[in-house]
Amino acid sequence: MHSPFEAVAAGIDRPSHFPGLIVREREPENLEYPFSALNSSLTRNEQFFVRSHFPVPQIDVQSWRLRVEGHVERPLELTYAGLTRLPARTLTMVMECAGNSRIFLSPKIGGVQWEQGAVGNAAWTGLPLVEVLRQAGLKPGAVEI
């Protein structure tokens, strides 16, 4: 594998492939790692929590397309391969589910009953949305993207 995009396309980054995660919900998949076992400044992939509101979509990267239309100068249709050729960016940052530690709240509230493992720090690589919007020529006054 040469890039994180290739790993996604190959399907090897599916969270259910990683051992050690605590299953909070099976469908949609919501998994956390025991907080006491997090012992590094960067969270390894196999330790990173998974928060899903819906099932993970299955896509065919050969036929998948992203359409950018509406309040733009140049409507676009981009392939997955085309997106991977745009300049990617890597940022290291913490991600924490807003419901982390929900299980400890009193009174109890609904939602996934996370303990403290719905948090992690990682180097994230991806395509900044601004790169796609530059290509499309977002018009002034656009309110929703």
Does residue 105 surpass a pLDDT of 70? yes
Q: Residue 1 — pLDDT band, cuts 50, 70, 90?
A: very low
Q: Is residue 103 part of a domain?
A: yes
CATH number at residue 48: 3.90.420.10
Mean pLDDT, rounded, of the chain: 88
pLDDT at 11 over 90: no
Residue 144 lies in a domain: no
pLDDT at position 22? 92
User: Domain containing 62: what range?
Assistant: 4-136
Q: What is the 3-state secondary structure (H, E, C) of 57-70?
A: CCCCCCCCEEEECC
Binned at pLDDT 50, 70 and 90, residue 5 comes out as low
Contacts of residue 56, Cβ cutoff 8 Å, sequence gap at least 6: 14, 28, 29
* Percent of the chain predicted with pLDDT > 90: 69
The secondary structure of 82-99, three-state, reads HHHCCCCEEEEEEEECCC
Average of per-residue pLDDT across 51-68: 93
Can you tell me the mean pLDDT for 110-129?
95
What is the DSSP code (8-state) at residue 71?
Answer: S
Structural domain includes residue 10:
yes
Is residue 53 in some structural domain? yes
Could you report the per-residue pLDDT of 62-97, keeping only the tens digit for each? 999 999 999 999 999 999 999 999 999 999 999 999
Assess contact for 121 and 94: CB atoms under 8 A.
Answer: yes
Evaluate whether residue 97 is within a structural domain.
Answer: yes
33 or 10: whose pLDDT is higher? Answer: 33
pLDDT of residue 10: 54
Q: For residue 119, is it within any domain? A: yes
| Domains: count for the chain | 1
**Residue 29 above 60 pLDDT?**
yes
What local confidence, expressed as pLDDT, does residue 37 receive? 86
Structural domain includes residue 19: yes
- The answer to whether residues 137 and 109 touch, using CB atoms and an 8 Å cutoff, is no
Beta bridge partners of 32: 22
Kindly state whether residue 141 falls inside one of the protein's structural domains: no
Q: What is each CA distance from 142 to 86, 131, 133, in whole angstroms?
A: 23, 16, 11
